[in-house]
Homo-oligomer: A and B are copies of this chain.
Amino acid sequence: MATDDSLATGQRSLGDPALDYPLWPPLTSGCPRTSTEDVSYPVEVDYAYDKADPADLFAPVRARGGLERWAPLLPPLLAPGLGEGATPLVELEPGVYVKDESRNPTWSHKDRLNRCTTSAAVGAGAPGIAVASSGNHGASAAAYAARAGLPCVVFTGPDAPPAVDAFLNAYGAVVLPVPWEARWPLLRQVVERLGLHPVSNLTTTHTGHAYGPEGYKTVAYEIFQDVGVPSAVFVPTGYGELLFGVWKGFEELRRLGLADRVPRVFACESAASGALHRALAEGAPAAHVTVGASEAYSIASPVSGYRGVLAVRGSGGRTLTVDDRQLAEAQGELALAGLWAELSAAAGLAGLRSLGAQAPDDGPVVCVSTSSGFKDKGMGSHRTTPAVPTWEEVERRLRAAGITG
């Protein structure tokens, strides 16, 4: 966008609209001529309205979010939406984009999946939804269930992050904190005994919900609309559902004749898990691993699924494992670009950075950032009552930060 796209002509006093000022500098203390000691009057910006092209500028748009935008290539969307999807691509540096999924209704990519799974529950006539999750998945399922007027049971672990705990309860879900090992047996029981519709995995190796990953295809559709087919997509990977959805979406674009290739998809796993990496190394459809210590609770998965194998092999991609230090570095890099991501969500960028000089250089790359930093476990912090600092103390702090005016 060129600077001179703006039709702004100057600043006009709100205290007396007959008074105007040049556009620069911004009058950060309001209108100097009408303001008194008691009342300050603001200014506003004025424009050359006669030079605007209203018909073009305000042309109606298709929905600003909502998977119904993509209804033909999704399962029937029988549950109401919350304006999910349509997230922006933010350019981090030339050729490197971040697909910021924290702009979704519950601030993670999971909303794309749960619009589809909740629709499945509605279509199946289920009396409610059941999910085992301490994180984004459960929160999102609870929101979509609430929106659809369906009861939702969430089996959380003992260590759900404060934010997730808070909004699970806000959405009116029945939240049952149980020890980890009890979650899957209980999930099966409520499904089998009460007929609740499961939106979490029920199987030994991961299969998850039949319709869920379909929602993730829309990530690929949107990237394609924004920048065409990138060279590669780096995807935070736990069970591999998002990974599969992104790959399938691009495959569909090829099938429909819109693209002549698919991007390589890079599965960015936690080094504490690496279940998909192991499955591929062993030539197995899926693998179980013992999960090591990690704060990246959203991607440190003890099991993988066959979808991940298909996506990596089918796209000519590969797995990348990143440890918590690499994740924290990528999280910091995103934050300094104005994007506060969950630690696990930074796995896409961490994966790209782990390639160093071997990073793809044959076109733009996209790192998916799946969720917001407020989902991290250590988010809540507390502080002591501050005292009034002297000016010298303030100046010292600022100088230490390189601010000298």
Across the interface, which residues of B come within 8 angstroms of A238, CB to CB? none
Contact mask for chain A residues 158-181; partner B; CB cutoff 8 A; 1 contact, 0 none: 101011011100111010111101
Count of A residues near B, CB < 8 Å?
168
> Is A195 a contact of B40 with CB atoms below 8 Å?
no
* Contacts of A351-398 to chain B: CB distance below 8 A: 372-374, 379-383, 385-389, 391, 394-395, 397-398
A-side interface mostly: loop
* A83, B28: Cα distance in complex, Å: 25
> Is A189 a contact of B397 with CB atoms below 8 Å?
no
* A225, B60: Cα distance in complex, Å: 5
Given A88-B63, A374-B167, answer yes or no on A57-B73 (Cβ-Cβ < 8 Å): yes
A199 to chain B, nearest CB (A): 8
- Chain B: CB-nearest residue to A173: B401
A205 within 8 A of B: yes
- Cross-interface CB contact of A383 among B51, B147, B177, cutoff 8 Å: B177
* A4, B44: Cα distance in complex, Å: 49
A315 within 8 A of B: no
> Is A6 a contact of B77 with CB atoms below 8 Å?
yes
* Contacts of A255-291 to chain B: CB distance below 8 A: 255-258, 284-286
12 A-B pairs with C-beta separation under 8 A: A5-B76, A41-B285, A42-B305, A63-B88, A64-B87, A82-B339, A106-B340, A143-B338, A174-B398, A178-B388, A186-B394, A189-B391
